Structure 1
Amino acid sequence: MAKRNIAIGTLLVGMVLGVIFWGGFNWAMELTNNEQFCISCHEMRDNVYAEYKGRIHDLNRTGVRATCPDCHVPKEWIYKIKRKIQASNELYHKVMGSIDTREKFEAKRLELARHVWKTMKETDSRECRNCHEYGSMDYMAQGRRARREHQEGLDAGKTCIDCHKGIAHQLPDMSEDDPSAVLAVHPEDKTEE
Structure 2
Amino acid sequence: MVGVGIATTVVVALAAYALVLHPLLERTNTTEFCVSCHSMEATVYREYRTSVHYSNASGVRAGCPDCHVPKPLVPKLIAKVRAAKDVWHEILGTIDTPEKFEAHRWRMANAVWSMMERTDSMTCRSCHSWEAMNADEQDRSARSKHRAAREEGRTCIECHKGLVHKRPKAPDAADL
Asked if TM exceeds 0.5, the reply is yes
Indicate whether 1:148 and 2:144 are aligned.
Answer: yes
**Equivalent residue number for residue 26 of structure 1:** 22
Kindly provide the amino acid, as one letter, of the partner of residue 45 in structure 2: Y
**Equivalent residue number for residue 163 of structure 1:** 159
TM normalised by structure 1 equals 0.80
- Partners of 2:74 and 2:48 in 1: CA distance: 27
- How many residues were matched structurally? 168
**Equivalent residue number for residue 74 of structure 2:** 78
Residues 59, 105 of structure 1: alpha-carbon distance in 2 compared, 3 angstrom cutoff = same
Kindly provide the CA deviation profile for residues 27-70 of structure 1, in whole angstroms up to 9, marking residues without a partner as x: 11100000111111111111100111021100000001100000
Shift of 1:124: 0.6
Kindly provide the amino acid, as one letter, of the partner of residue 22 in structure 2: N
**Equivalent residue number for residue 108 of structure 1:** 104
Shift of 1:174: 3.1
Kindly provide the CA deviation profile for residues 12-34 of structure 1, in whole angstroms up to 9, marking residues without a partner as x: 8x94x555422221011100000
1:36 is matched with which residue: 21, 32, 50?
Answer: 32
Kindly provide the amino acid, as one letter, of the partner of residue 24 in structure 2: A
- 3-state SS of the aligned residue for 2:44? helix
Residues 175, 92 of structure 1: alpha-carbon distance in 2 compared, 3 angstrom cutoff = closer
Larger radius of gyration: 1
- Partners of 1:89 and 1:80 in 2: CA distance: 15
2:47 is matched with which residue: 51, 71, 74?
Answer: 51
Query: Structure 1 stretch 29-38 or stretch 166-175: which is displaced more?
Result: 166-175
Query: Structure 1 stretch 82-91 or stretch 116-125: which is displaced more?
Result: 82-91
Structure 2, unmatched stretches of 5+, are: none
Kindly provide the CA deviation profile for residues 146-193 of structure 1, in whole angstroms up to 9, marking residues without a partner as x: 11010011111111011101110011113759xxxxxxxxxxxxxxxx
- 3-state SS of the aligned residue for 1:25? helix
Kindly provide the amino acid, as one letter, of the partner of residue 25 in structure 2: M
RMSD over aligned CA atoms reads 2.2
- 3-state SS of the aligned residue for 2:66? helix
The answer to whether the 8 A contact 2:38-2:97 is kept is no
- Partners of 2:24 and 2:31 in 1: CA distance: 14
Structure 1, unmatched stretches of 5+, are: 1-7, 178-193
- Partners of 1:46 and 1:175 in 2: CA distance: 22
- 3-state SS of the aligned residue for 1:127? helix
